[in-house]
Amino acid sequence: MESSQPYEPSTQTNQPFFNHNPTSLKIAVIGFGNFGQFLAKAFVRQGHTVLAHSRSDYSATAQKLGVSFFSDPDDLCEQHPEVVVLCTSILSTEKVIKTIPFQRLRRNTLVVDVLSVKEFPRDLLLSYLPPEFDILCTHPMFGPQSGKLSWVGLPFVFDRVRIGSGDYRTDRCDEFLGIFAREGCRMVEMSCAEHDKFAAGSQFVTHTMGRVLERFRLESSPINTKGYETLLNLVHNTAGDSFDLYYGLFMYNKNAMEQLERLDMAFEGLKKELFGNLHEVCRKQLFGHTEGITESITQSENKIPKFLPPSPMKVGIPEFLNGIGKGVETHVAKLESEIGDFHKLLVTRTLKLKKLGVPCKHVMLPPLLSSLN
């Protein structure tokens, strides 16, 4: 699908089989951290038998949730779960897959991933899993923060990468998807490649802006606007995710680099537009009065103006900021220490802006005034 084409609503799925009477599945969750526990609660709530394995000991937490915890992956696989859900981090996925004793599972086991990127785990599963295993790539596009109250209306993306023939295997896949449909998720079926293209322009950009604003150190104030509250919430949500997740979104989605470059270009373009307008204001404030002097020089036979100040005319940073007003004059000391020769700065900026293709008029004092300075 071309990036210029609009998103097609037809990819949203509302098949009737998502609403059929549920049957209990035996589901193994490998990676029982925050997200694994988050999903396990829904699995248990809907009456499914849930097993779990993780490198850390979550046996006490699992017991509270009604989940059977296994510290040894061999013991878990010998329970013959019908569905194995990989809830690992993006960066550790391949390492975890290599440790799973697939030979102890049934040959037609359904393996599901829930990573935030899709082409990467799809290729790993196709490479490492026995050919008899079914593969379902999914992305619940929410987490413990955004989905803590309800999953209603939240998008759940899935791709039936490899589902074997036969009613049992197709029904099992549908039953697993039905868990999310019954929770009210908006079911969206699309290919892994399509997902990664859309996610780079939404999820990765969202995480990037959240982390940029976090480093900007946004703080709440007594006069927050609705828009500012939205930014604060964005920072709060993204700060709750690990940097490994963000790095994984960048490293394992081939579209992420393009989005990062587009963000950089957009910011640079915005700065150029601001500086271009500021430059024009500076030119008018500083040099607008010289037009009358230049005209009188041209009209005079001896090239000497009829009204020249007795001393060199100089407009520095204090004079300029005082002319603008509106409180900017309070920044005189800082600007003087950082800018120095204001006129030289304006001339240099003019040449640079013209080189960058930003429309502006060249700043130059009339020859006679330049000689006086």
**Predicted confidence (pLDDT) per residue in 45-74, tens digit:** 999 999 999 999 999 999 999 999 999 999
The H or E element that residue 170 is part of is helix 167-182
Mark whether 118 and 163 lie in a shared domain. yes
Q: Distance (Å, rounded) from C-alpha 246 to C-alpha 100?
A: 26
Residue 172 inside a domain? The answer is yes
For CA atoms 361, 364, 365, 368, the dihedral sign is: negative
Residues 352, 349: Cα–Cα separation, whole Å:
5
**352: three-class secondary structure by DSSP:** helix
Sheet containing 155-162: which strands, arranged edge to edge?
68-69, 49-53, 26-30, 83-86, 110-113, 134-140, 155-162, 186-189
Determine the pLDDT at residue 290.
Answer: 55
How many domains are contained in the chain?
Answer: 3
Q: What confidence score (pLDDT) does residue 255 get? A: 82
Q: What is the pLDDT of residue 369?
A: 36
Residues 233 and 177 in one domain: no
pLDDT for residue 244: 83
The backbone torsions φ and ψ at residue 87, rounded to the nearest 5 degrees and listed phi first, read -115, 45
- From CA 230, how far away is CA 232, in angstroms rounded? 5
Strands (E), 186-315: 186-189
Measured torsion, CA atoms of residues 217, 223, 228, 234, in degrees rounded to the nearest 10:
60
DSSP secondary structure string for all residues of 83-140: EEEE---TTTHHHHHHHS-GGGS-TT-EEEE--S-SHHHHHHHHHHS-TTSEEEEEEE
In a domain, 324, yes or no: yes
The predicted pLDDT at position 156 comes to 98
What pLDDT score was predicted for residue 334?
67
Beta bridge partners of 139: 157
Spatial separation of the C-alpha atoms in residues 109 and 217, rounded to whole Å: 47
Torsion sign over Cα 141, 145, 148, 153: negative
Closest by alpha carbon to 125, among 160, 156, 166?
160
Same domain, 129 and 44: yes
Residues 174 and 113 in one domain: yes
Note the pLDDT of residue 298: 55
**What is the residue type of 267?**
F
pLDDT score recorded for residue 260: 86
Residue ranges for the chain with pLDDT beneath 50: 1-17, 19, 301, 304, 306-313, 362-373
Shared-domain flag, residues 181 and 322:
no
Q: Are strands 83-86 and 110-113 parallel, antiparallel or unpaired?
A: parallel
**What does the alpha-carbon distance between residue 59 and residue 155 come to, in Å, rounded to a whole number?**
31
Looking up residue 158, the CATH number of its domain turns out to be 3.40.50.720
Do both 241 and 133 map to the same domain? no
Same structural domain, 133 and 263: no
In a shared domain, residues 86 and 39: yes
pTM for the model? 0.64
Q: Identify the sign of the CA torsion 302, 308, 314, 320.
A: negative
Tokens of 134: 């079914």
| Residue range of the domain that includes 103 | 26-190
